[in-house]
Amino acid sequence: MSDLLRSTISARISKLPLLPPTSVDEGDEEENEEIDTIGDLPGSGMGPPAMQRPPNPNFSPISASGFFEQALQIAIPARNLDCRVYYTAPKFKNGTVMICHHGAGYSGLSFACFAKEVTELTKGECGVLSLDARRHGRTSSTDGDDGDLSIDILVEDFCAVLETIFPDPAAAPTFLLVGHSMGGSAIVRSCPKLLEKKYRIAGVAVLDVVEGSAVDALPHMNSLLNARPDGFDSMEEAIEWHVSTNTIINANSARVSIPSTIKHEEGAILPYQWRTPLRSTAPYWLSWFQGLSKSFLAARSARLLVLAGTDRLDKELMIGQMQGKFQMDVIPGVGHMLHEDEPTRLAEILVEFWRRNERILPAGIKKVGDL
């Protein structure tokens, strides 16, 4: 189901190569998060401010420093981007890195808890790299124009980030591409481009998005988005809203990920506002999801689809599943943000998928998802 549909329905109901010039150490990361996420609540200048509920400490932000080894700013002049990535490198030579792309409105930190689980499950054999897309999180444009979120732009950005971090495909680790919702579309379309450049791709994993249901939901998005608040009085309130509406069931994950999706606007009536208002992304919704099933099934790698429920598969996926072209798993008891709600279970699924498809098989036996 689309990033927009499930989250808004819920609301309605209630070591990579060191790059010293751009690296951010853990101390700086914690300091920056405090600055970015906690600020004074200004009055209106029109008399005493309205009574506000004190921030709930149970929903205070948590630093990402305990979930990734590094937080880096990667300069990509060709894309006019200064891109934030979070990275834990594999501990062994010729390791694999899960490259994660978030969904609309979220950030690379939505994979924070998942990344920690993968590191522990594989004892560091598999690394995790998660990025902030343009107009999301701490990624910023160097020319002031980063408004275009069409799928072609997202794909070019994604490939450029990996080519900048791992410039030599022969020396680069094997990639396992993981994308949630909008990010799922970006990673499957990036796969052939990366293969053309001789990067090794172990597989593509798409999280909780099916083209048919996503496209069908688009006409209803604007009315559903009306249920989302325009902003919040505090960062704690923003985090609590996501948990209380079941947008993110896992409170610890929300405390890590949500601060990067909210910006502080000094003097605003609601001083904590969305970094990426979902309504502003409407012109790009169709480009994200249209053709997703075809691109997924055409990926020349192992394929995995993980759903939060028994979403209706469209015709192409239904035929593909009957032909054994991809692996499908369903995680019960979670919402759309399944990688945040159940990071341990998702890590288990993806680590098993990675191990199965990295193993050297006898001649004549195909990998999961191979034609």
Q: Are 62 and 256 in contact (CB under 8 A)?
A: yes
Question: In b/e form, how buried is each residue of 202-239, taking b as 16+ CB within 10 angstroms?
Answer: bbbbbbbbbbbbbbbbbeebeebbeebeebbbbbbbbb
- What angle in degrees, to the nearest 10, is found between the helix axes of 343-358 and 112-121? 50
How does DSSP assign 67-131, residue by residue?
T-SEEEEEEEGGGTEEEEEEEE--SSTT-EEEEEE--TT--GGGGHHHHHHHHHHTTTSEEEEEE
Per the DSSP assignment, residues forming a β-bridge with 84 are 73
Neighbours of 162 (CB within 10 A): 24
Tracing tokens 């020319």 back to the chain, one arrives at 143
Rounded to whole angstroms, the Cα distance separating 123 from 131 reads 22
* Active-site residue set: 181, 208, 336
Rounded to whole angstroms, the Cα distance separating 343 from 117 reads 7
